[in-house]
Amino acid sequence: MRIAEITNTSKPTTPEQQRITALQQQTKQAQQRVKQERIRQQQQKLNQQRS
């Protein structure tokens, strides 16, 4: 943990900062879902080629 992280946690975040944080988390989750979907499609394509 960095010092900046410790000092930032002591201050309450503003609604704007909370919104940005929430949007960043949503972006990360969406990226994970896209990655998982690509893997699923690749596996499905390989399974079709095998049969």
Global pTM value: 0.66
Residue type, 4: A
DSSP class of residue 14 equals P
pLDDT tens-digit profile of 22-39?
999 999 999 999 999 999
pLDDT above 90 (res 7):
no
> Has residue 5 got a pLDDT over 80?
no
At 24, list the tokens: 């960043």
Asked if the model's pLDDT at residue 9 lies above 80, the reply is: no
Alpha-carbon Rg for the chain, nearest whole angstrom, is 19
Torsion of CA 44, 45, 46, 49, to 10 degrees: 120
Structural tokens at position 3: 């010092």
CB neighbour list of residue 21: distance below 8 Å, 6 or more residues apart: 13
